[in-house]
């Protein structure tokens, strides 16, 4: 395959040229292959399933894309690429990735690079990187966010790999990545081996949390404030013009505006109230438990989906379990028009900041445990465009962790402790607290909003209740305790 260049229509070179292989032509793989071709990269593509290859061939014709070679088997794919080769693997996480690697690795030469762009567990990436390094092959664990549209037009890319591997693949990955407002590619090497997939895992955990918080706000606007779907769409559109400007808020407005062609009703109202998941949110919670990092809102979002899945049990329980009954003093206040909507907005804003804070703290914990030295400012910069959790807040988050306070200033231990975010949280906590109190009084579950508020209150408390827990542990298990007035460990015969 010969190198080729292309332009973006302005006469400016739109890509690095060169060659790339792509294995896996599902939604993400096919769109990334087209993105690569658009940027002047000569692509050799393969999928084990003939139907997938045929469907991709049809897309090439429809899109009038050139510079793509379809390979019928892995041997043909490898033969189509000149060394040093770079091959992007876009198949389902787990055993399918290992199967592709096992098929490709013996055909590759030292210095070639394999890139896993799926949602692989970071521990699998650690194992694969070590195994391929023994063969002289480079391995990149690449977190890809942005869904179908992002893959086609520009995703956020989070890489974990050796510096030599990054030098090989960076020009191409920079070319296909989303661009932030300042033109910077949303693409970075965030550390060695599993760092990229760990960051992508946590990205998805934050995504779970923010989606849960937004869903709870929708429920409050619908069930307590009595807004119809059109009015709710307008509320979310107005929120998208301020601090909450984000992909997920904008998406929510568009979802609420959609009409079901079968019934003429709002489409979202016709969707069964259960939500699926692919496991990355659960992985984030498992990592948090392993590392001892509190991520209550991320974890509550995972549990909330589990609870939503108990549809038949919930329907049966609704006829048995009684709620609080009318609470006109609180619920009526929540339904008081613009003030109620503003209170809910403040709750969503505060909980969103808490979700980012929890996720970034988890990344910092993982970085310390694995020696990755992940730069949280770089993480926030990568998330500014292309990814599902992109938002206006990320510029300020990047500033916070870039030690914006001046030379020698240390970044905050937690995002919430940054002065800019401390002020933001102080400004929104009034409406946040009112919203949670009124929801609880009305018997409306808000695990995301309430857990995020508890996280804020717990983190800002200089004295908690854990002394009693430690006394209990010492009383029944002789686990000892520390004192507030002198050093050392102590035990009491209770």
The torsion region of residue 158 among left (phi > 0), alpha (psi -120 to 50) and beta comes to beta
> CB 412: neighbour CB atoms within 10 A?
20
Structure tokens at 1: 């395959």
Structure tokens at 368: 């310390």
Structure tokens at 76: 């043909």
Cα 279 to chain centroid distance, Å, stands at 12
Structure tokens at 264: 């003429």
Give me the half-sphere count of Cα atoms (radius 13 Å) on the Cβ side of residue 469.
3
- For residue 175, CA distances in Å to 47, 66, 87, 200, 333 come to 24, 17, 16, 20, 52
| Residue 184 DSSP code | -
Q: Which residues are catalytic?
A: 200, 207
- For residue 75, CA distances in Å to 33, 81, 110, 348, 377 come to 19, 10, 16, 52, 41
Residue of 383, 392, 388 lying closest to 363 (CA atoms): 383
Q: Among the residues of 134-162, which ranges form H helices?
A: 147-153
β 86-89/113-116 pair status? parallel
């Amino acid at each position: 395959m010969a190198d080729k260049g292309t332009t973006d229509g302005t006469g400016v070179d739109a890509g690095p040229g060169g060659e790339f292989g792509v294995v896996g032509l599902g939604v993400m793989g096919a769109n990334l292959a087209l993105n690569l071709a658009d940027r002047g990269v000569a692509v050799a593509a393969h999928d084990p399933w003939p139907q997938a290859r045929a469907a991709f061939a049809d897309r090439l014709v429809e899109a009038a894309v050139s510079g793509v070679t379809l390979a019928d088997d892995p041997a043909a794919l490898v033969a189509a690429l000149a060394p040093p080769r770079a091959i992007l693997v876009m198949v389902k996480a787990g055993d399918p990735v290992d199967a592709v690697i096992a098929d490709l690795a013996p055909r590759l030469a030292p210095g070639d690079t394999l890139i896993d762009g799926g949602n692989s567990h970071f521990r699998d990436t650690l194992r694969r990187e070590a195994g391929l390094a023994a063969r002289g092959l480079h391995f990149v664990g690449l977190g890809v966010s942005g869904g179908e549209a992002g893959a086609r037009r520009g995703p956020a890319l989070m890489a974990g790999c050796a510096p030599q591997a990054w030098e090989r693949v960076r020009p191409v990955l920079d070319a296909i990545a989303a661009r932030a407002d300042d033109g910077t590619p949303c693409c970075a090497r965030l550390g060695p081996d599993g760092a990229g997939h760990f960051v992508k895992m946590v990205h998805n955990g934050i995504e779970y949390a923010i989606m849960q918080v937004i869903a709870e706000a929708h429920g409050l606007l619908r069930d307590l404030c009595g807004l119809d779907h059109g009015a709710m769409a307008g509320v979310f559109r107005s929120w998208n013009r301020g601090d909450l400007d984000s992909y997920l808020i904008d998406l929510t407005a568009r979802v609420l505006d959609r009409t079901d062609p079968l019934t003429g009703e709002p489409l979202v109202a016709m969707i069964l109230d259960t939500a699926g998941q692919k496991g990355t949110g659960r992985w984030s919670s498992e990592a948090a438990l392993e590392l001892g990092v509190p991520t209550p809102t991320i974890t509550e979002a995972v549990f909330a989906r589990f609870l939503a899945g108990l549809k038949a049990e919930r329907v049966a329980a609704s006829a048995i379990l009684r709620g609080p009954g009318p609470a006109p003093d609180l619920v009526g206040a929540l339904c008081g028009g613009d003030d109620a909507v503003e209170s809910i907005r403040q709750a969503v804003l505060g909980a969103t900041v808490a979700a980012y804070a929890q996720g970034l703290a988890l990344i910092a914990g993982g970085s310390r445990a694995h020696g990755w030295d992940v730069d949280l400012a770089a993480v926030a910069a990568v998330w500014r465009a292309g990814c599902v959790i992109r938002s206006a807040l990320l510029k300020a988050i990047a500033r916070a962790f870039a030690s914006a306070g001046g030379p020698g200033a240390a970044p905050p231990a937690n995002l919430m402790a940054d002065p800019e975010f401390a002020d933001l949280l102080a400004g929104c906590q009034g409406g946040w607290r009112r919203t949670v109190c009124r929801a609880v009084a009305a018997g409306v579950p808000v695990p995301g909003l309430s857990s995020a508020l508890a996280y804020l209150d717990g983190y800002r408390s200089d004295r908690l209740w854990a002394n009693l827990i430690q006394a209990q542990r010492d009383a029944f298990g002789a686990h000892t305790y520390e004192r507030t007035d002198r050093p050392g460990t102590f035990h009491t015969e209770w």
